[in-house]
Amino acid sequence: MPDREHYDLIVRNATLIDGTQAPRYHGEIGVRNGRIAKLGALGDAHADIEVDASGLIAAPGFIDAHTHDDRLLLSDPDVIPKLSQGVTTVVTGNCGISLAHSPAPHGTVTPPLDLLDSEGPWFRFPSFRAYREELESRPAAINAACLAGHTTFRVAAVGRLDRAATPAEITRMREMARESLAAGAIGISTGTAYPPAAKPHPRLWGTFPRVLGHYSRDLGSFPLETAVYKMTGLTAKTYGLRERGVLQQGA
């Protein structure tokens, strides 16, 4: 007889919502080496760990697209506030605010950078590469797609937000942007609610599964498949996050 297929983890008897808006279906998930190796009926396959998901939904980890978790990833790498809501990927550095390229310490942290640290010791990363290397040296329990913040650049290059930057200061900010993108930042963010881009901007909803559940299950505003898609597959597609946001073989 052929050997039974072996996996590190099998999730059995689940209802699968795969993050593509496709209708839900019943199936099983086989995971090997941290990747989905097979979806569907796994029959008599066995695993080191088996989870019975009867009556439960298995979906891709949620992607929280609007966070200020730059510091949280380092200060609380278990990231329980995110994992407890089903979030497995965060986009950091939003609203023009990031820890890299950190301004030189000079006492009071310039608002709005104090959103990340009001006292200043976390602003210790002179480059995006330095921030990335610290993340990689003690990785958090979730994935991170990191933006670099324009306002952080401006405070580092200009020191104040109430005057126009000089040509030399603009050149320095451009170099910061180039370095950040070359070192792995997924983009440069701005925040129009704050100087120098001071225009009101709508606040985005964070990731609240209970809110999604209310509008989907209770009010029937959209199918649960659509709710999951908005928090997984759609976000991954928008940000170009490969192999995220979907339940599929190899993800």
The predicted structure's pLDDT at residue 203: 35
Where are the alpha helices (H) located in 18-127, listed in sequence order?
A: 72-75, 80-83
DSSP reduced 3-state for 55: coil
Q: Which of 56-70, 76-90, 196-210 has the lowest mean pLDDT?
A: 196-210
* pLDDT confidence tier of residue 107, bands split at 50, 70 and 90: confident
Asked if residue 60 has a cis previous peptide bond (ω within 30° of 0), the answer is no
Which of 28, 211, 209, 185 is closest to 94 using CA atoms? 185
Could you give the domains of the chain?
6-62+207-239 (2.30.40.10), 66-189 (3.20.20.140)
Tell me the per-residue pLDDT of 207-233, one tens digit each, with 9 for 90 and over. 446 666 777 888 888 898 998 898 899
The predicted structure's pLDDT at residue 194: 76
pLDDT averaged over every residue in the chain: 90
Percent of the chain scoring above 70 in pLDDT: 92
Tell me how far apart the alpha carbons of residues 112 and 182 are, in angstroms, rounded to a whole number.
Answer: 26
Asked if residue 2 has a cis previous peptide bond (ω within 30° of 0), the answer is no
Tell me the per-residue pLDDT of 122-171, one tens digit each, with 9 for 90 and over. 999 999 999 999 999 999 999 999 999 999 999 999 988 888 889 899 89
Strand blocks (E) in 105-225: 143-149, 187-189
Tell me the per-residue pLDDT of 166-206, one tens digit each, with 9 for 90 and over. 989 989 999 999 999 999 999 989 887 776 655 433 433 34
Place of tokens 């580092």: 156
Tell me how far apart the alpha carbons of residues 235 and 86 are, in angstroms, rounded to a whole number.
Answer: 15
Tell me the per-residue pLDDT of 6-18, one tens digit each, with 9 for 90 and over. 999 999 999 999 9
Q: Which of 85-89, 114-118, 123-127, 162-166 has the lowest mean pLDDT?
A: 162-166
